Chain A
Amino acid sequence: MSSDMTLLLIKSLGQTLYMVSISMIIAAVIGIPLGILLVTTAKGQILECVAFNRIIAGLVNAVRSIPFIILMVAIIPFTRSIVGTSIGTTAAMVPLTLAAIPFIGRQVENSIKEVPYGLIEAALSLGATPLQIIKHVLLPEALSSIISQLTTVVIGLIGASAMAGTIGGGGVGDLAIRYGYQRFRPDIMLITVIILVVVVQLVQFIGNYIAARLNKK
């Protein structure tokens, strides 16, 4: 393979990692609190507010029901207002982040729901405030499971980032489409697939490792 091709591969991999990591970080910052709210504002929970809970649950469902490729083009005006452009790697991060937020919200919700209610009750009996319960009970107890769930989200994002080429986002997936498929280069197709498989394996391995280390059950 020519050195041009190698450079292109490295550049694409860099774009993928950049898109996925930044989107993931921003989405986690919003999605984790969202997941906490999905649980704690439900009926009978420590921050019970049923109307609010219905609204955020509805929003989460709405965003999650839009296929990613449609979401990406549908929100172009929004993307432009946020990052100033609707084309390129940075622009691709806006829909990626937007898609990841409700995904993370639901996954974190599931993790936190697994914390036995008895622990919340015990903390209440010790005079804990709702915020203290979130910080000292729900998050630490669910952390291992949250890490596992976030790993799944990262892998989902790597998959979704392959569609970023639609709006000129680049990345390994885009390379596979443009060179491997459209220019009949099976060698490029093969190597991009290998790269994606290796990256996903690595992410899963790291996620599993951290989750296992944190799990004291």
Chain B
Amino acid sequence: MIKLSHIKKVYDTPSGSLQALKDISLTVEDGDIYGIIGLSGAGKSTLVRCINMLERPTEGTVEIDGQDLTKMNEAQLRSVRKNIGMIFQQFNLLSSATVYENVAFPLKLSGMAKKDIEKKVMPLLKLVGLEQKARQYPSQLSGGQKQRVGIARALASDPSILLCDEATSALDPQTTQSILRLIKKINEELGITVVIITHEMQVIKDICTKVAVIDHGVIAEKGSVIEVFMNPQQAITHEFISVLLSDELPSAFRQQPVSAEPVEDGYLLLRLTFLGESADEPVIMQLIKNAPNVDVSILFGDLDQIQTVPYGRMIIGLKGDAQKVKEAEKWLGEQDVKVGVIGYVKRHDAAVD
């Protein structure tokens, strides 16, 4: 378990002191894939470096399995760090060493015998799918392959924690997916706790179980990924999610006045969110059956997955007798689906779509 309590980090710069982290507390349970998302400059890279004390927090404590790292000297920290693997955006491989030598590097640091090193390195290269590349140099590899070497190197000393600092930010989308799958596999098969720093909500959605949104050195919001996606509380979280899940109104309704009261010839726009089982329920069909006098238009629809949980979003418009529309809305509210009311909007006259 990683427990960060009231972490503060202040940098002294020529133009005064800069508070990179202001009172951050969070707990990562064993086996979690914990995502920390923030814009550049939000302090997330500093935060992840506080976990292995590459950056010493100005205030606060960092506990790993009950041991307080902030009270340790350098020698003690070095032995703790062997239990915390780390991978980087720029891979940080030794360019003068082969793939094999790079993975063997942490073992060489520990003074392991050559024979034992080989027994350790080859299975790791196999795990990351690079056993054919053992004798090559990093400059001969693609970005994704370099990150695989980074992962194998981070795993060489059998850590129980893996820190990923923007590990996929320098990679293309397909390669990102394959690296994320590998990290997930490591988490599941080796039981390694993973902390992921990223600025991409896609990464959080794909593999994280929990997420903390960090903004200007404070945690804006944290919780399980599904909760945060379903019910974002903060504007910054909305922003991150909307990059991934666009839910703009169709052009016919955009820039039209939205009213809380029924307007003549207007639609009641509702935002529906389905999660898990409910994503499979024929809710819209039942709605149409239940409210035969109400026109139901589907204006936007999207079905996605948060890891393995199906997740559907829809914007529908209800039109008809004001009372009937109200009843239909009420009925929907009783179903196993989250309903958000956008309001009554009149369709743009000139709209032709």
A interacts with B: yes
A residues neighboring B (CB under 8 Å): 116, 118-119, 121-129, 132, 136-137, 140-141, 143-144, 214, 216-217
Partner-contacting stretch, out of B77-85, B203-211, B318-326, B343-351 = B77-85
B39-57: CB near A (< 8 Å → 1, else 0) gives 0000000000000101000
B96 at the interface (CB under 8 A from A): yes
Q: How far is the CB of A119 from chain B (nearest CB, A)?
A: 5
A128 to B81, CA, bound (A): 9
Q: Which residues of B in the span 55-89 have a Cβ within 8 Å of any Cβ on A?
A: 78-79, 81-82, 84-86, 88
Number of interface residues of B (CB under 8 A): 29
Closest partner residue, chain B, to A118 (CB atom):
B92
B96 touches A216 (CB 8 A): yes
Contact of B105 among A126, A143, A214, A216 (CB under 8 A): A126
Q: Which residues of B in the span 108-139 have a Cβ within 8 Å of any Cβ on A?
A: 108-110, 137-139
Q: CB-CB < 8 A to A141: which residues of B?
A: 94-96
B31 at the interface (CB under 8 A from A): no
Q: CB-CB < 8 A to A129: which residues of B?
A: 78
B226 at the interface (CB under 8 A from A): no
B109 touches A216 (CB 8 A): no
Closest partner residue, chain B, to A130 (CB atom):
B74
Classify the secondary structure of A's interface with B: helix
B96 touches A127 (CB 8 A): no
A124 touches B81 (CB 8 A): yes
B92 touches A119 (CB 8 A): yes
Closest partner residue, chain B, to A132 (CB atom):
B109
B237 at the interface (CB under 8 A from A): no
B108 touches A127 (CB 8 A): no
Closest partner residue, chain B, to A121 (CB atom):
B54
B106 at the interface (CB under 8 A from A): yes
B54 touches A216 (CB 8 A): no
B95 touches A136 (CB 8 A): no
Q: CB-CB < 8 A to B153: which residues of A?
A: 122, 126
B157 at the interface (CB under 8 A from A): yes
A137 to B85, CA, bound (A): 18
**A125-B95 contact, Cβ under 8 Å, with A136-B108, A216-B137, A216-B139:** no
A126 touches B82 (CB 8 A): yes
Name 17 interchain pairs, CB-CB below 8 A, sorted by A.
A119-B92, A121-B88, A122-B88, A122-B93, A123-B109, A126-B153, A127-B82, A127-B157, A128-B78, A129-B78, A132-B109, A136-B94, A136-B105, A137-B94, A141-B94, A214-B96, A216-B96
B97 at the interface (CB under 8 A from A): yes
Q: How far is the CB of A140 from chain B (nearest CB, A)?
A: 4
A124 to B108, CA, bound (A): 14
**A124-B95 contact, Cβ under 8 Å, with A118-B88, A129-B78, A216-B139:** no
Tell which of B81, B96, B105, B137 has the most Cβ of chain A within 10 Å: B96
Closest partner residue, chain B, to A128 (CB atom):
B109
B109 touches A126 (CB 8 A): yes
A140 to B108, CA, bound (A): 15
A214 to B96, CA, bound (A): 8
Q: CB-CB < 8 A to B79: which residues of A?
A: 127
B278 at the interface (CB under 8 A from A): no
Q: How far is the CB of B135 from chain A (nearest CB, A)?
A: 12
Q: How far is the CB of B303 from chain A (nearest CB, A)?
A: 40
**A217-B109 contact, Cβ under 8 Å, with A121-B54, A122-B92, A143-B96:** no
A124 to B163, CA, bound (A): 14
Tell which of A125, A137, A143 has the most Cβ of chain B within 10 Å: A125
Q: CB-CB < 8 A to A132: which residues of B?
A: 109
A124 to B84, CA, bound (A): 11
Contact of B81 among A116, A127, A144 (CB under 8 A): A127
B92 touches A136 (CB 8 A): no
**A125-B96 contact, Cβ under 8 Å, with A136-B105, A136-B109:** no
Contact of B97 among A124, A125, A127, A140 (CB under 8 A): A140
B274-288: CB near A (< 8 Å → 1, else 0) gives 000000000000000
Q: How far is the CB of B149 from chain A (nearest CB, A)?
A: 11
A125 touches B94 (CB 8 A): no
A121 to B85, CA, bound (A): 12
* Nearest 8 Cβ contacts at the A-B interface: A122-B92, A125-B86, A118-B92, A127-B78, A126-B106, A127-B81, A216-B137, A127-B82
A116 to B94, CA, bound (A): 10
Q: CB-CB < 8 A to A126: which residues of B?
A: 81-82, 105-106, 109, 153-154, 157
Q: CB-CB < 8 A to A136: which residues of B?
A: 94, 105, 108-109
B89-103: CB near A (< 8 Å → 1, else 0) gives 010111111000000
Q: CB-CB < 8 A to A119: which residues of B?
A: 92-94
Q: CB-CB < 8 A to B94: which residues of A?
A: 119, 136-137, 140-141
A141 to B96, CA, bound (A): 6
Q: CB-CB < 8 A to A214: which residues of B?
A: 96
A56 to B105, CA, bound (A): 32
Q: How far is the CB of B286 from chain A (nearest CB, A)?
A: 55
